[in-house]
Chains A and B, each alone.
Chain A
Amino acid sequence: MNAAPTGNPPTLQVMRYDARRGTLDVIVGERGGLPREVLARRAAEAMRARSFICHTVDDDALLGADEICFIPRADRCEIVSIHTNGWRRHHGDHRRSLVEILNDLAAAVARGTLSFLDDAELAAVSAEGREIFACTIEDTTSLAGARAAVAQVLENQQVGDDARRRLELCVSEATTNMLVHGGGGGTMRLRLVEGLLRAIVADRGPGLSFINWTDEAGGAKQPSMGYGYKIILDNLERVHLHTGDEGTTLILDRTI
């Protein structure tokens, strides 16, 4: 792929191939890129092989992604790619590469840690269990309060120090991400769901993108190098993500 950056940030695209219905639905981003029959055929191959398969795509006009990953999950296949829009890491840039980020996301889907939700799934998962705390996150001074709330809930539930620290860290990463990328604020809710603590972090921003890639070499304002999601995916049992034009919701689950 040799295209120059377009000015638009790289974007995430997730599609879902349903083998029983033969449908291909867009879960995140926009349809486009490779023809439907090619995507369906590759998805069916991955499902037959019961194996997570990545294809390198070198025709920018077709897809705008360096890789596209096909991840079989029971009777469906998740198809995950990042449209790079020509952006790539260069010498001296210590951000994680977009391919690294994509592979981490795809691997998390493959091992069942990460699931992308459509609207109906978001409504169902968000309603499970019992709400025990809610707050708004309006600016960076709210971050410590969100962490303290998690700490208090976990202390009340007699959760050990290690699990408490990891959950506090993950909530901090999710709420920070919301402030940086989610239109400047949103809400954080905590729910108890059958032995799980579930944190629901929701914003009304423009949807998940890799906007920091339009900032040369990470730029002075790029604080996280794309590591926030890595921390979240490495420290939680399950993460649900819903993102679109009307905002992003990240749902974090950890057994307590």
Chain B
Amino acid sequence: MLHTRVETGDTPVIHLEGEIDLDSVETFRWAVTDALRGATEAILDFSRVTFIDSSGTGLLVRLCLDSQAQGVQLRLRDIPPVVDDVFKMLKVRALVGEEAFVD
């Protein structure tokens, strides 16, 4: 189960809480797509994500690359170890670029 909450503003912040798997990728997609509407930058906060698999990671990579192609920067912050492990396995930083990560 994934819960999302969006802090609106010039740079929307999308807070993710729970598990990102095949069951929740549509919730994830909808939250990000909706928050990006009209924005030039948005932040995805992963601090409360407890699980992600290749379904969620695949969608994240696609959202980042599609946003970049449209001149919109989707930045990722507060990546917990359980998520970072999967990102490392799948070389997400190389795919989306280091600049997408807020350290």
Contact call A227/B23, Cβ cutoff below 8 A:
no
Report the stretch among A81-89, A165-173, A202-210, A237-245 that lies at the interface.
A165-173
Question: Which residues of B come within 8 Å of A, CB atoms?
Answer: 1, 19, 21-23, 25, 51, 53-59, 61-62, 65, 82, 85-86, 89-90, 95
B90 in contact with A172 (CB, 8 Å): no
A222 in contact with B58 given A143-B23, A172-B21 (CB within 8 Å): yes
User: What B residues does A228 contact at CB under 8 A?
Assistant: 53-55
Answer whether A224 and B86 are a contact pair too, CB < 8 Å, given A144-B19, A173-B53, A176-B22.
no
Whole-angstrom distance between the alpha carbons of A58 and B25 in the complex? 38
Contact residues on A (Cβ < 8 Å of other chain), bracket: 20 to 34
Q: How far is the CA of A231 from the CA of B85 in the complex (A)?
A: 11
- Please, which residues of chain A bring their CB within 8 A of the CB of B21? 140, 143-144, 172, 176
| A130 contacts partner chain B, Cβ-Cβ < 8 Å | no
CB distance from B84 to the nearest CB of A (A): 12
Majority SS of interface residues in chain B? helix
A156-170 interface (Cβ within 8 A of B): 165, 168-169
Which of chain B's residues has its CB closest to A228's CB? B54
A141 at the interface (CB under 8 A from B): yes
Complex interface: chain A residues within 8 A of B90 (CB): 227, 230-231
